Amino acid sequence: MRKGPFVTDFDPGRRRFLGHLGLAGLGAIGAGSLLSACASSASGPSTGDASGAVTIQSNLSSPQAKTAIEKLVESFNKQGKGTASVNTIASETFRTQLPTYLTSANPPDLYTWYAGSVANDYASKGLLLDVSDVWQGLTEYPQSVKTLSTDASGKQVFVPMTNYWWGFFYRKSNFAKWGVQEPKTWTEFLALCETLKGKGVPPIGIGLGDTPWVASAWFDYLNIRVNGAPFHRELLAGKQRFDDPKVKAVFTRWREVLPYFDPKGKAYPFQEATTALLAGKTGMFLIGTFFADAAPKDALGDLDFFRFPIIDPAVPVAEEAPTDGFFASAKTRNATGTKDLLRYFASVEAQEEYVKSSSGIVLPVHPKAKAADSPLVAKGKAMLDSAAELTQFFNRDSTDALQPTADTALTKFIDKPDQIDAILREWQASAEKVFKG
């Protein structure tokens, strides 16, 4: 059967966050110089009119988020400043095809994507539109967000819209039933784990089958709690080594809690780990707010979270806040319209409208925009506001190419914590390959 691979290529269960590495790798080639050279020769300057509709290539394929962005564009069109249309692509397809979109001769104008090093990566290849003049109007945004949106050469290439947070989520009713409180420090956290284990509940839920990247949240958090955010960023940028004793210290902490992990967590993806948490089969779960989309509606009111416990009080508190937003293609034929649309997305009313109609628990990035009116969201926002530093997530602070090295190393560590020295040496070696590119 010659076409066997075609048929089996559609395998929704496995095409998660970092699904098809083969395709992703291909995308990486696409972004390479080979193709950007090709693309410029592919066809001459396009002859479309500059006042045409701005096309947004969107990866917001979940029904609520899709509706939310479509509504937003509808209200933009009503303002009469220009027209825009949304083009929603399955998020997994989008991830692998994004380099192709950007390097094509006649690319879409605007893209949903991530701030930080990912955007910087594309900017360094000259693929992104300089939106510094949009940022001149965004004076109310905090400096941290502006830094995230700035590329290595100092110009802004990204306009953020929302972010979300990570934390230990749990069911209030279960914590009440077990008679336990939210821990603040690492010692309290260990005591809580011990109590839950004594009651026969696996304390820490996790879901690594098909979604091994979830383990990176543990690495990120332990690293920013033990070594601080600046070291974490340098490590992920290739300026520090993974076999450094400071990194090993992270895993020493991790080993202290490893016995409390749900043993079944290696087998199922995080969506099922969510189900286990809600059914009271695990005590708590370090996860991003997006997991709530996998919860039945009647359980939402019962959810609460606490911040990753403080390990070293001397280290400034940092939190993970992955920031989503937009960047534009450098080849857009309608830069004015694209920038107008970006200005709208950055505004208070657009972000409030988006947050309202997308059911996920997301926070507007504009400091004056009101978040959804729920105690959980208020708590999350307060946590991020009080943080001294923000990081995003492993792949967003480094590259998608580095993520698989983390997945391998962390999964191995959870299986065989004794071999940590060998695992870290191996991690450093594969990371070096990625950085050499």
- C-alpha–C-alpha distance, residues 99 and 57, integer Å: 12
Q: Does 28 sit near other proteins (CB under 8 A)?
A: no
For strand 389-391 and strand 204-205, is the pairing parallel, antiparallel, or unpaired?
Answer: unpaired
- Does 403 engage in binding with other proteins (CB under 8 A)? no
Contacts with other proteins in 59-78 (CB under 8 A)?
59-63, 65
Residue 178 near other proteins by CB under 8 A: no
Binding mask 301-330 for other proteins (x = CB under 8 A): ------------------------------
Q: Which of 152, 218, 235 is nearest to 432 (CA)?
A: 235
In this structure, are residues 434 and 237 in contact, taking their beta carbons and an 8 Å threshold?
no
Burial 169-185 (b: 16+ CB within 10 A, else e): bbbeebbeebebebbee
Q: Closer to other proteins at the Cβ: 114 or 158?
A: 114
Q: Which of these, 125, 153, 155, 115, lies nearest to 326 by C-alpha position?
A: 115
The piece of 3-11, 132-140, 236-244, 384-392 that touches other proteins (CB under 8 A) is 3-11
Query: How would DSSP label each residue in 364-406?
Result: ESSTTSPPPSSHHHHHHHHHHHH-SEEE--HHHHS-TTTHHHH
Does 195 sit near other proteins (CB under 8 A)? no
Please say which residue, 12 or 154, places its beta carbon nearer to other proteins: 12
Q: Which stretch binds other proteins (CB under 8 A): 6-14, 153-161, 307-315, 327-335?
A: 6-14
The structure tokens 């603040």 sit at 184
Q: Does 262 bind other proteins (CB under 8 A)?
A: no
User: Which one of 291, 306, 308, 394 is in contact with other proteins (CB under 8 A)?
Assistant: 291
260 near other proteins (CB under 8 A): no
Please calculate the CA angle 249-254-255 and round it to the nearest 5 degrees.
Answer: 95
Angle at 54 between CA 49 and CA 58, to 5 degrees: 145
Closer CB to other proteins, 279 or 388, in the complex: 279
Segment interacting with other proteins (CB under 8 A) among 247-255, 256-264, 288-296, 347-355 = 288-296
Query: What letters, b where the CB count within 10 A reaches 16 and e where it falls short, cover 8-47?
Result: eeeeeeebbbbbbeebbeebbebbeeebbeebeeeeeeee
Candidate segments 56-64, 216-224, 234-242, 253-261, binder of other proteins by CB under 8 A: 56-64
C-beta closer to other proteins: residue 170 or 189:
170
DSSP label at 243?
T
Residue ranges that bind other proteins, judged by CB under 8 A: 2-3, 5-7, 9-10, 12, 15, 17, 22, 26, 29-30, 35, 38-39, 42-43, 57, 59-63, 65, 87-93, 96-97, 100-101, 104-106, 108, 271-272, 274-275, 278-279, 288, 290-291, 293-299
